[in-house]
Structure 1
Amino acid sequence: MLIEPTVPPRDAVRRITKSSQDCEPARVIMQIKRNADMHLARVQSEQDRIQQKVKTLRAKHQQKSDTLQELWEQRKLRHQQEVGELELELAGLEDKFEARWAEEEKALQEVLDKQDKRGQEAIAELETELLRQSDLLRNEVRSAEEESNTQAVDLKEVGESMEQELKARMEVKKQAMETSSDAEVRRFRGYREGNEKAAEHLMEEAKIFQQGINFLRETYSRTPRLPRKHPVAVAPVDVNSPYRRKGEKAVVTSRDAANRQTTYTFAVLLGSRASCEEMILLVTLLQLLGSNVQIPLWTFAAPTTGGRQVQSLDGQWRFQREKVTPQVCNATTFPEPLTGHCTGLLKQGRPEDGGPGNATACRAACCAESACNAWQWRPGSCWLGFLDIRSSCTGSGQWQGEGDPSRKPRKMMPGSPCWEDGCRSDLDDSHWRVVDVPHDFVVEGNFTPTADKSHGYLPYGIAWYRRKVCIPEAADIASGKRYAWLEFEGVMVRSQVWLNGVYLGGHGSGYTPFLVDLGVAKLTPDCSNVLAVHADATSPDGWWYDGGGIYRHVWLTVADPVHVAPWGVYAPARVSVPLRGAEANADAEVHPIVAFRNKRNATENLEVTCTVKTSGGAVVASQVSAATAAGNATTEISLRSLQMPGASLWSPAHPALYRLEVSISSTSSQDQVSVTFGVRTVAWDPNKGFVLNGVPTKILGTANHQDFAAVGVAVPDHLQVHRLRKLKEFGANGFRTAHNPHNEALLQAADEEGILVWAENHRNGQDEEMEVMIKRDRNHPSIVIWSICNENLCHSDDVVADAKRLKALAHRLDPLMGRPVSANYNDFNGNHTPMDVMGFDYSPETYDRWHAAAPEVPAISSETSSAYSDRGLVANDPAAGHVRDYDTEHPGWGETSQVAWQAILSRSFVAGGFTWTGWDYRGEPTPYQWPDVNSHFGVLDMAGFWKHRAYYYKACWTPPSTEYILHLLPHWNWEEHRCGDGCRRDAATGAMLVTVWAYSNAEEVELIHPNGTSMGKISASPCSHVSWEVPFLAGQLTAKGYVKGQVVQTAEVHTTGSPQSLRLRIKDGVGESGVIANGQDVALLSVDVLDAQGSIVPTASAMVTFAVEGGARILGTANGDPASLELNTSPQRPAFGGRLMAVLRPTAPASGAIRVTASSPGLTSDSLQLKVLPKAPKAAKHGQLIV
């Protein structure tokens, strides 16, 4: 604001004039002018100062505005996060409110009558008080009248006024209480009447039952004890089933010694539900009668429906691989050019991972793909798929590609008839090979350099599987009284399912389970139903080995028309009290959410029983609820929480597990399922990392594909436990399911072994796949984070939009277990990541920059290191395809184990990481190609033997307070011509100098030369190594680990003699107590090549043959050599580094013992004997015993 110049005050002018009367007018005018100029100058100076101040204020205001805007954006982001947290908290509060209301409802029910009575008593008391007050007032009036008539009149008026006011107030309060009481009465009258009726019903049933028992006792007391010639016929009885035939007659007939018949007729004794004790008592009394109980007796005891029955279909499949005719593939195969971008295609593997490396290879990949009519190529990427070319592709662009609009996928709907020989029900398949599933037919093939390296140089293909299925309830299934479906846990890659020549359905992914309904097929009530499965593995969907065939379990489920939906029980368990850290127990609650599937037209009223049990079977909590299942629909219902006082918390150190059993019953149906769950809290903090049960916990993980030696991807359930335990041996507590959902047995093993799981979806944008994975796996406490995709598999037509949609889907399906959503994809990282947690793909040098850009977003190294090596080797050998076993080798995108984990463990904001990989796996051989057929990345080799890097992780991940670790490498069997880059010749002395490393968590390590001299004591940094150059001398090399000057651990390597014998042992305890002859169980065998002193010869490569006597066979062998080209299923293989292993399976049925012998020319053989255990009941599926 500008200030206007002011005129001097009038009296000031007068003063000037008066003092200048004797002066000249000109001088007076000049003086006035000078004064005015001075005043104007001061005014101008003040204006300038004020203008400068205004500018300063404006600058400060703009700065403050910018700061406020930034704070607003930050607060807005925090607000959005808080809204999400508040929504979860609100859900929790709602659950608690419902639980509290349920508890208070009963109390309200109990006090209702008392409240009503109390209200009446209060009204009576108020009326009494009103009369008493009126009397007092009248007395006061009388007293006042005696003192003064005037005062009395006034007091009387006041009293009457007060009396009227009090009456009015009492009437209002009375009406309010009556209204409240009436409302409460109306509110609970239904409950009270229902309870009264239920009580009357129960009393009536108890009375009838007692009368029946008395009748039976009286009958028994006057009936002579007779020898029972005909045993009592006892039908199977489900004591939890509703019995609805009350009032029917039952007949008991018995015969005495003279064959005289006595018949007893009595009414049905049991009402709507019989307890186990009642059933036992009744059956016992009837048996004591010495009677032949006729079938009509059990019309009242047999359940009205059959409940759920689950049958394993793993055994006795007929298998045949289909011959694939090579297809001509050239420019004429796809007549229409596609230069514009086509949406809806899937990106293939990178060229460096074995994917198509140019446009011609991309076209050939589409020709080989049975579900492809269009391909497109841009430098470095190939895109394939089936689409409507006219509507899915833009008119122009920089893409290269071709399409064939006439090439369309065969469209089949459930109920379609068979169209080729393999699905015909009358096909003669007696000459086909018999196999059990899980089964991987690709792993059985011969290696060939013409096959794809990324898939392990094994030819893929197509196969048919067929078997007979017994369906005794076929008539009830056809009539709708029962409902049946098949569940395939996994068929690689694309599958079609047929029953009795009718198409049931199929699946386009090999990584997730799928269901097919039997209702469209014509069933027979015997074992002649023919199930046929077509498995097309011609175009694998990854750049690693993923096998082919029915490689996971198959189940047939028959249930009542109203049942719990598949994967329909969600059991989120939450700690209900604050944790101070390191508690092993805490009060908790589980909040069941159950989906009911009703295949009937009518709505069904259900009685739902939820029971929480410990892993030992002890009941923790139980409740009964009412629910409604809408007709021809799936209804999801949130049930009341069950309280778990002092629950054992799940953690890697103490993996405590519980089971939630859910039973439903209605007038037409009954069902029971159970799920395993654990109680734990999970939080992801941007500064502290991963917090489990209130304790910051570093995730020390490895990423892993799903294949195993000899069996490919068809890994027996028992070996999943073995795979995790081998990782735990060197300190791992985390497992990433790369790059797809793994099977249920792996996750169950993770729950039991205390492993923290990163559960990964296969492709971004695949909503159905993500939904199935989360519904199937969300009850596993081991899973602490969901992942939507990995690297190239994150690419889609709209990457960010698809990622956000999948993240929202995950939070909708799993809202209460604290799991965030991430991805192994660096393009998502930064301050605008659409993910809840940043997943770093290598690049440890960027951790700090990314954290600074997004300080509020938690972070984890989703994939790290990619160091590669081969067990025990000292030199790189490209011709042989071998990599030295020092932690020095890695691809350009990766880093050594030491660099990777020093970066992770030194930053608290990095929640942990997943080393690529824990196990070697088939395919993706890096850095070499043929003859290498599997990777070198693993900390363990394909046979499960430790590489030297395993000891690095053991030393890095093991606290010294727990155990001191010291490992010395390499071996001490040296031959100059095989030295390579593992040693060098000393120019001065001519001695062969060997590079020796030690891994240790001690403070210092000293090395003692075979000649007895010390090579020096070196300080050992955490998660690193110490090294020396040592002149080779045959003998023993010894290392000593020191802490505070004291030796705490020693290690040694020594020169061995030549191979003399074999040592055959059970490997890692798998099969130690025996093997079950059920067609699924296996034992692992290991062979060591020994010298005369019994030491393993680390350079031995003797050819070893396994021979079996008894009911078993060798499924395959492995030695850890990436360039071992023997057939995977061969019982013969050379040792690698002096060791190899075999997988043995009993052939069902089998009995007695199995004897296995390992032999090699010129070496002493060895044998061992295994016990064959009786066939035990198979594992439960959804809580039901498998038949």
Structure 2
Amino acid sequence: MHPRKEEMRICTGEMKNTMSLAKLLWLGSLMLALQSYGQTKKLPLVREQLFDDNWRFKKDSLTGAEQPDFPDAGWRTLHLPHDWAIEDLPGQNDSTIIGPFYKYSPAKEHGAYVVGGTAWYRKPFTLPALPAGQTVAIRFDGVYMDSDVWINGHHLGNHPYGYTPFTYDLTPYLATPGQKNVLAVRVKNEGLNSRWYTGAGIYRHVHLVMAPPVHLIKDGIFITTQEAGKQKAVIQIATAVTGSVTGAAQRLLQIRLKDSTGQVVAYASQPVNIAPGDTTTVIRQLTVNNPALWSPGRPYLYTTEIRLMDTLNVKNTATADRLEIKTGIRQIRINATRGLTINGEKVLLKGGCLHHDNGLLGAAAFDRAEERKVELMKAYGFNAIRTSHNPPSEKFLETCDKLGILVIDEAFDMWEDQKQPQDYHRFFKAWWQRDLQSMILRDRNHPSVIMWSIGNEIPERADSAGLAITRQMVKAIHHMDSTRAITAAENDFWERPYKWTATDASFALLDVAGYNYQWRSYAIDERRVPGRVMFGSETFPADLYHAWNQVQGLPFVIGDFVWTAMDYLGEAGIGHSTYTGNGTGRRTHPWFNAWCGDIDLIGNKKPQSYFRDVVWGRSMVEMLVHTPIPEGTKEKVSRWGWPDEVPSWTWPGMNGKNMQVRVFTRGEKVELVLNDYRVATKTVSDSTPLTVTFNIPYTPGVLTAFVYDSKGNEIGVKTLALANPPQAIKLTADRTQITADANELVYVNVDIVDNLGRIVPDANLPLKISVSGQATLAAAGSACPDCPASFQQPALTTFRGRGLAILRANGRSGNITLQIEGQGLKTAKIDIRAK
């Protein structure tokens, strides 16, 4: 068993030979006999642990399922996180159902044609006797949506919003020690409740929180940078401590700042007197000499360790409570003169908007899935993410801290005015303050978070009611965090009786103005409203060149965020192109993927990403070839789309027919060479910036673009070569060794290759999958936006030569083998080790 799980597990009704809970509670002050190890030792304090395993699940509207004696023996047992909406629907003989996709889904194209409903989760567990004053709570990181929770039949509460964490105290309702407790959770994802795919169920982690009678309040800790220089930094730590209702207490608060090697670089301590049932906040400052400052280029993280000691004796090591928080020392400034600076250095936000789903996994927020999403953003040149349009998972932000990705943390997509009939607007008035507080208090210690966004495209933003809500939100945020700027994303195409300038009243209440699709207004609005700081909170992919020029040329424009950075489920087909000329968006079945991302659903680059590489200076030249355009038609691309281009010179059946080739470059002249013959030369025109378009007859072979500067020097080369027929399957795993933990994933790229190992870009082939050893198949599929299929069956059909298989460890050590075969192809096999 993985050692961390052995340290953190508690007894449940399903577990054998596990540690007792008493061994996990404020252990610095207790010496416990470990019967299973035959020795006595002091264990590290564990006050919070994952509570993801051994949940029972059933999708149904049931009466009485909240009661502890409800017969759930036939229910499915699973390990969280879990998203039932992506699971295959029954009735596969029905042509309207393909995997989880149902043509007549109530969610329609908005929710990717999946089916919601009501479902139940139940978890049995037992606890030993607890120390006096001990409390036990349950924290859900995210449940979509409208959840109710019971413990032993007692209703703990309802939480409507699907994207914010929430906690319930279990202590008063627990069964006697050794007797079974039952948690029950009802989740409702009903009707048309979002504009995108949300997932359904307990899709993020669940934690059991066990705090001693006098303890630190995790959300009451706030670490801020007061000063950040090369020679010296000052950080301030506000720490909230709460006491037992039974009596006053004295504790010693110790704060240690440790560098990445564990060396203590700053220290403070202070006695704390806590009145019965009271909460006390202690504020201390630490000075760090020669600090390593956090920045996107060098995301250095310290660790702030906060301890409550049982005694005021500094030399006594008995620890009553302890928390550790990763800490980045950085100072952010935003103004219209210099734009955005981090530690005094100007930063331009190379941003992308990102939905919360994880592609083939649906909304299930596995740690590895959240990490990989951020890693892909970093690898493809982004340095900033706008969480659209809701708070992300905590693991997502931890990864942004680690990799140096800046975050605009967004709260809501709607306020009181609905965007869909069953969306969050129904709960907003009663819940917005609690949900906003939940987001701010959880996320404010992350150095990656640089701004708070209070909303996206809010219809009532400039009404008197909307302005009142804005003022209330700004006031509430300032009360919790006055160190970050506040923004909102606003557009000008809602059906309202006012014009864009009417939002001046809204922007006047904010620190930074978020412009959706309005890059042409930047300079005009700065003249109208001097001092306004702006950024492109959403821009169309095709507008990148012009929008980025504004960022580079106007100091008050701090960045640009494309819609969208990655493909996502739902808003089906908004990024499509068509040859019919009818309409601007194909949003009907079988489309289920938005298809507007720089990165496709399985993590590969799409054509707009190659253009972005040139605009951002990551590449001197890129070349794309348009798929054959039917005769007599003209392509029409949606506003969020991109022409149907691919980096390929494999076009069987097109011999002698003209192919459209586009070359992106910052050079002055482009020369095309086909099979050692110069076929065309063009100069880059100001009318088509960074782009040269050629139409040349197709001949199989090798197409090369040579790029030259104004002096005739060659500054870049790009080559596309004809791929030979498919011969084999190539498997590439992101990791070949993982921890034996049921939350662990392995992503395996599945490529169809020719005899030279090159991907065959026109290979759309069915493949069979088998997994053996200590893992199961979590998901498999391709990036195809209009090829609905099961993501959970042991099969996939590649799209443009590529697919993806995702393996999930089962928690046991040993070998994992993935084998994939296809007709006429050499079978591929890859081994992974879980340990």
Q: 1:728 aligns with which of 374, 378, 384?
A: 378
In 2, the alpha carbon distance for the partners of 1:483 and 1:507 equals: 21
Kindly tell me: are residues 977 and 1098 of structure 1, through their superposed partners in 2, closer, same or farther at Cα, counting changes over 3 Å? Answer: farther
Matches for 1:144-159 after TM superposition, within 5 Å:
none
Alignment correspondent of 2:346: 696
Alignment correspondent of 1:448: 102
For residue 453 of structure 2, give the secondary structure of its aligned residue in structure 1.
strand
Task: For residues 448-490 of structure 1, give each alpha carbon's deviation from its aligned partner in whole angstroms, at most 9, with x where no partner exists.
Answer: 111121000001111111122232234x4xxx52111111111
Q: 1:588 aligns with which of 222, 233, 237?
A: 233
Q: 1:953 aligns with which of 596, 609, 612?
A: 612
Alignment correspondent of 1:1119: 782
Contact 2:456 2:488 in 1 (8 A): yes
For residue 571 of structure 1, give the secondary structure of its aligned residue in structure 2.
strand
Alignment correspondent of 1:408: none
Which segment is superposed worse, 1140-1149 or 974-983? Answer: 974-983
Alignment correspondent of 1:1167: 829
Task: For residues 655-682 of structure 1, give each alpha carbon's deviation from its aligned partner in whole angstroms, at most 9, with x where no partner exists.
Answer: 0111111111346992111111211111
Q: TM-score, normalised by structure 2?
A: 0.82
Which segment is superposed worse, 778-787 or 459-468? Answer: 459-468
Task: Report the CA distance between 1:319 and its aligned residue.
Answer: 0.8
Alignment correspondent of 1:909: 556
Q: 1:830 aligns with which of 504, 516, 522?
A: 504
Kindly tell me: are residues 663 and 748 of structure 1, through their superposed partners in 2, closer, same or farther at Cα, counting changes over 3 Å? Answer: same
Kindly tell me: are residues 510 and 527 of structure 1, through their superposed partners in 2, closer, same or farther at Cα, counting changes over 3 Å? Answer: farther
Alignment correspondent of 2:8: none
In 1, the alpha carbon distance for the partners of 2:189 and 2:320 equals: 40
Point out the structure with the larger helix share: 1
Q: Do structure 1's residue 969 and structure 2's residue 624 form an aligned pair?
A: yes
Task: For residues 1038-1062 of structure 1, give each alpha carbon's deviation from its aligned partner in whole angstroms, at most 9, with x where no partner exists.
Answer: 0123345333332111222332322
Q: Do structure 1's residue 664 and structure 2's residue 308 form an aligned pair?
A: yes
In 2, the alpha carbon distance for the partners of 1:650 and 1:485 equals: 34
Q: Do structure 1's residue 624 and structure 2's residue 269 form an aligned pair?
A: yes
Alignment correspondent of 1:645: 289
For residue 492 of structure 1, give the secondary structure of its aligned residue in structure 2.
coil
Contact 2:26 2:320 in 1 (8 A): no
Kindly tell me: are residues 464 and 1011 of structure 1, through their superposed partners in 2, closer, same or farther at Cα, counting changes over 3 Å? Answer: same
Contact 2:444 2:481 in 1 (8 A): yes
Task: Report the CA distance between 1:945 and its aligned residue.
Answer: 1.1
In 2, the alpha carbon distance for the partners of 1:1024 and 1:546 equals: 38
| Counterpart AA for 1:825 | E
Contact 2:25 2:45 in 1 (8 A): no
Q: Do structure 1's residue 609 and structure 2's residue 254 form an aligned pair?
A: yes
Matches for 1:494-509 after TM superposition, within 5 Å:
494-509=146-161
Task: Report the CA distance between 1:627 and its aligned residue.
Answer: 2.3
In 2, the alpha carbon distance for the partners of 1:505 and 1:528 equals: 21
Task: For residues 1060-1111 of structure 1, give each alpha carbon's deviation from its aligned partner in whole angstroms, at most 9, with x where no partner exists.
Answer: 3222221xxx223x12221100011111122334322211111112111212
Contact 2:258 2:264 in 1 (8 A): yes
Give 5+ residue unaligned stretches, structure 2.
Answer: 1-21, 89-99, 312-317, 416-428, 492-499, 575-584, 636-642, 645-654
Q: TM-score, normalised by structure 1?
A: 0.59
In 2, the alpha carbon distance for the partners of 1:236 and 1:460 equals: 41
Contact 1:237 1:302 in 2 (8 A): no
In 1, the alpha carbon distance for the partners of 2:478 and 2:231 equals: 25
Kindly tell me: are residues 772 and 595 of structure 1, through their superposed partners in 2, closer, same or farther at Cα, counting changes over 3 Å? Answer: same
Kindly tell me: are residues 669 and 648 of structure 1, through their superposed partners in 2, closer, same or farther at Cα, counting changes over 3 Å? Answer: closer
Contact 1:604 1:666 in 2 (8 A): no
Kindly tell me: are residues 527 and 544 of structure 1, through their superposed partners in 2, closer, same or farther at Cα, counting changes over 3 Å? Answer: farther
Alignment correspondent of 1:1129: 792
Q: 1:463 aligns with which of 119, 129, 132?
A: 119
Q: Do structure 1's residue 436 and structure 2's residue 103 form an aligned pair?
A: no
Contact 1:436 1:1079 in 2 (8 A): yes
For residue 330 of structure 2, give the secondary structure of its aligned residue in structure 1.
coil
Contact 1:709 1:943 in 2 (8 A): yes
Alignment correspondent of 1:813: 480
Alignment correspondent of 1:773: 439
| Counterpart AA for 1:996 | V
Contact 1:560 1:669 in 2 (8 A): no
In 2, the alpha carbon distance for the partners of 1:239 and 1:545 equals: 41
Kindly tell me: are residues 930 and 241 of structure 1, through their superposed partners in 2, closer, same or farther at Cα, counting changes over 3 Å? Answer: closer
Task: For residues 991-1044 of structure 1, give each alpha carbon's deviation from its aligned partner in whole angstroms, at most 9, with x where no partner exists.
Answer: 532221122344543221335114114348797322222222221110123345
| Counterpart AA for 1:830 | D
Task: For residues 593-625 of structure 1, give each alpha carbon's deviation from its aligned partner in whole angstroms, at most 9, with x where no partner exists.
Answer: 111222324333331111111122110111111
In 1, the alpha carbon distance for the partners of 2:714 and 2:168 equals: 64
Count of aligned pairs = 733
Alignment correspondent of 1:1184: none
Alignment correspondent of 2:692: 1026
Contact 2:24 2:45 in 1 (8 A): no
Task: Report the CA distance between 1:633 and its aligned residue.
Answer: 3.3
Kindly tell me: are residues 1090 and 640 of structure 1, through their superposed partners in 2, closer, same or farther at Cα, counting changes over 3 Å? Answer: closer
For residue 591 of structure 1, give the secondary structure of its aligned residue in structure 2.
strand
Contact 1:1112 1:1146 in 2 (8 A): yes
Contact 1:621 1:642 in 2 (8 A): yes
Q: 1:1005 aligns with which of 666, 670, 676?
A: 670
Kindly tell me: are residues 586 and 717 of structure 1, through their superposed partners in 2, closer, same or farther at Cα, counting changes over 3 Å? Answer: farther
In 2, the alpha carbon distance for the partners of 1:801 and 1:1161 equals: 64
In 1, the alpha carbon distance for the partners of 2:762 and 2:727 equals: 13
Contact 1:794 1:825 in 2 (8 A): no
Alignment correspondent of 2:421: none
Contact 2:383 2:406 in 1 (8 A): yes
Q: 2:527 aligns with which of 823, 841, 852?
A: 852
Q: 1:737 aligns with which of 387, 399, 403?
A: 387
| Counterpart AA for 2:289 | P
In 2, the alpha carbon distance for the partners of 1:516 and 1:810 equals: 24
Alignment correspondent of 1:426: 69
In 2, the alpha carbon distance for the partners of 1:792 and 1:711 equals: 30
In 2, the alpha carbon distance for the partners of 1:308 and 1:1133 equals: 42
Q: 2:595 aligns with which of 921, 928, 936?
A: 936
Kindly tell me: are residues 1007 and 1144 of structure 1, through their superposed partners in 2, closer, same or farther at Cα, counting changes over 3 Å? Answer: same
**Identity level (%):** 28
| Counterpart AA for 1:950 | S
Kindly tell me: are residues 793 and 712 of structure 1, through their superposed partners in 2, closer, same or farther at Cα, counting changes over 3 Å? Answer: farther
Task: Report the CA distance between 1:310 and its aligned residue.
Answer: 2.1
In 1, the alpha carbon distance for the partners of 2:781 and 2:75 equals: 28
In 2, the alpha carbon distance for the partners of 1:782 and 1:951 equals: 26
Q: Do structure 1's residue 1059 and structure 2's residue 726 form an aligned pair?
A: yes
Q: Do structure 1's residue 515 and structure 2's residue 178 form an aligned pair?
A: no
In 2, the alpha carbon distance for the partners of 1:1088 and 1:715 equals: 26
Alignment correspondent of 1:1071: 735
In 2, the alpha carbon distance for the partners of 1:797 and 1:712 equals: 38
Alignment correspondent of 2:545: 898
Matches for 1:371-410 after TM superposition, within 5 Å:
none
Task: Report the CA distance between 1:533 and its aligned residue.
Answer: 1.2
For residue 491 of structure 1, give the secondary structure of its aligned residue in structure 2.
coil
Kindly tell me: are residues 630 and 1120 of structure 1, through their superposed partners in 2, closer, same or farther at Cα, counting changes over 3 Å? Answer: same
For residue 401 of structure 2, give the secondary structure of its aligned residue in structure 1.
helix
Task: For residues 286-341 of structure 1, give each alpha carbon's deviation from its aligned partner in whole angstroms, at most 9, with x where no partner exists.
Answer: xxxxxxxx99xx9xx999xx9653232111211110159xxxxxxxxxxxxxxxxx
For residue 810 of structure 1, give the secondary structure of its aligned residue in structure 2.
helix
Task: Report the CA distance between 1:242 and its aligned residue.
Answer: 6.5
In 1, the alpha carbon distance for the partners of 2:259 and 2:223 equals: 14
In 2, the alpha carbon distance for the partners of 1:1025 and 1:527 equals: 71
Kindly tell me: are residues 496 and 1008 of structure 1, through their superposed partners in 2, closer, same or farther at Cα, counting changes over 3 Å? Answer: same
Alignment correspondent of 1:1015: 680
Task: Report the CA distance between 1:523 and its aligned residue.
Answer: 2.0
| Counterpart AA for 2:267 | S
Task: For residues 89-130 of structure 1, give each alpha carbon's deviation from its aligned partner in whole angstroms, at most 9, with x where no partner exists.
Answer: xxxxxxxxxxxxxxxxxxxxxxxxxxxxxxxxxxxxxxxxxx
Alignment correspondent of 1:152: none
Kindly tell me: are residues 915 and 813 of structure 1, through their superposed partners in 2, closer, same or farther at Cα, counting changes over 3 Å? Answer: same
Bigger-Rg structure (1/2): 1
